[in-house]
Each structure stands twice: as structure tokens, then as C-alpha cells.
Structure 1
Amino acid sequence: MPTFQTSRRVQHSADDMFDLVADVEKYPRFVPLCQSLKVRGRREMDDGRVVLISDMTVAYKLFSETFASRVTLDREARRITVEYLEGPFRHLENNWDFKPLDDGTCEVGFFITYEFRSRTLGSLMGAMFDRAFRKFASAFEERADEIYGAV
């Protein structure tokens, strides 16, 4: 099963980076392959977490697929978890962690593992997904510089 994991120190606070990643509706503006993202449900839990149900459409050239996921925003733990619900995958799991550092910056951890339901789709899209995930951290860091200012 393809897996990608990275950890990067960024020149923005953990809270700012959490807010940036939590603002999923803005992903089509800067996230590689993300053509659209619609939140179809949002619920605040008693423990302070927020749970979103979203539909994300990824597109590349003539290929386009939409999948649904549950996104749990846990501000207290500084963690965002994405759980796959339906679409072209057999499995998809994605986590973000935001660790504040003493100088006001933070370390952002990103993990994703996935498997396409169809072998054909996996062979068509696998390499392209792998390249896109390798660009995710940079895309979010560049977006943070745009919003919060480059340091």
C-alpha cells in the first residue's frame, strides 16, 4: 500500500498552520490535484472537536474522481485526521500533526496511506498521486506565507 510521510519545520505558529489545514474549502486554490472540495456536514462535538464530512474531487488531465471523507479537527491535540468514507479507494488514511516550537515556529507532520479499489486505476494514478503528495507540504507552506506573511 503506498504511503508517504514527512515532517517539516515551518516559520509559522502551530495554531496558524492548524487553521490553514483545517480550512478545507480553500484547498482547490492551492492543493495539487484538488479540483473541488465541498463540505456537506459539520458537527461540533462535546469534547471540542469538529467533524466535517466532505467530498473532494481530484483531477488530472482527463481523469477525475470524487471521494468522501470524515475530517476530525482536534485543536486541543493539534491534530487533523482524515478517514475515508466512499469513492475510488479501498483504503485512505491521512493525519496532520502540528507541534509548537519554542521560537514561535512549528513542526508539521503529514502522513498518508492509500490503496485504490481498482488495480487499473492504481496503475494509472499511483505515480501521479505519489508526486502530488510529495508537493503537499510545500503547497501548504507557500499558502501560509501568502496568508500570514513570509518570514
Structure 2
Amino acid sequence: MPRHHETRVLPYSAEQMFALVADIERYPEFLPWVIALRLRSDSEHEAIADMIVGFKGLRESFSCRVHKQRPSAVSVSYIDGPMRHLSNEWHFEPAEGGGCRVDFMVDFSFRSRMFEALAGQMFDKALRKMIAAFETRADELYGAGRAISSEGRSESLSG
């Protein structure tokens, strides 16, 4: 059962990071292995989505519920698919001096022993690649090295 928790301070506001993570419809544009995503419903506080992920000829689809608490948290709860369970949480908190602290946790296990074994072997590498994809996406959307303070001003974090 792979589980990972990580905290990073990024040069973007909590609102910006919340908006990026909560915009699940765009995941196929930048997240590796996300082949397709269909929103069944989407509101200010909750979305239900079906996602197809693929890796080296393997494809699986699953459904999840995304809980949104603007601008501080996004959590994902598993509905249906090839997993035994899936829990994913993002917490966003303004950081001193600008930017925000991003707290990320994912915990999951597959029903299939084959997928579980594959996930165990690839988990760290895949996770690093996905976290890097979110950071790259933030840089593309909001500009690398820039932060928005809680008052909404743009501030440079370099020197």
C-alpha cells in the first residue's frame, strides 16, 4: 500500500495553487499517465470525475469524488475502479514572506496483486514525475519565481 506525504513552499498564492489542483478537467493536459477525464458533475464544493490512466499498454479507469474548500484544501475520495482504496489530500496555507505551503498526501492500494507490485516498483519515480508536473504547470500558469501576496500584489521572490 503506497503512501506518501510531502510539504513544499512554492512561490504562488494558496488561491493559485487551489485553482490549479481543483481544475481536474485539465489534468490530461499536463499530468503524465492521465489519458482522459470526464466530469460527471462539478460545483464550487464538489466534483465527481471518471479518469482513465495508462502506462506501458495498461489502462484502467476509476471514479472519484473531489471535495473543494477554497482556497485551503482539495481532497479526493475513491468511488469505484481497480483500487482497494485511494485517498489524496492537498492543503494550501499562505507562507511567511509570500507564496504558500503545499501539504500533499496520497495513500492507495490496488485490488490486483499485479498492479500493486507494479505500483510498488514505480511509485517513487511516478510520484516525483507527477509532483514535478504540478510545479511545471504552476510555473506555466503563474510565472516561475513570482508570488502573489495575500493582499494580491505580485512580488518577486528572487533577491
TM-score (normalised: structure 1): 0.90
Pair 1:62 & 2:57 matched = yes
Q: SS of the residue aligned with 2:51?
A: strand
CA distance in structure 1 between the partners assigned to 2:125 and 2:13 by the alignment: 27
2:155 alignment counterpart: none
Structure 1 unaligned spans of 5+: 45-49
The alignment partner of 2:54 has SS state of strand
CA-to-aligned-CA distance 1:117-137 (integer Å, 9 cap, x gap): 111221134323442122222
Q: Distance in 2 between matches of 1:8 and 1:136?
A: 14
Select which of 47, 53, 70 maps to 1:52. 47
State the partner residue of 1:135: 129
User: What is the aligned partner in structure 1 of residue 21 from structure 2?
Assistant: 21
Matching of residue 91 in structure 1 with residue 69 in structure 2: no
- Structure 1 residue 120 corresponds to structure 2 residue 114: yes
Aligned alpha-carbon RMSD (Å):
1.4
Equivalent residues in 2 for 1:65-80 (5 A)? Answer: 65-75=60-70, 78-80=72-74
**What letter corresponds to residue 50 of structure 2 in structure 1?**
D
Which one is further off, 121-130 or 79-88?
A: 121-130
Q: How many residues align?
A: 145
2:34 matches 1:39: no
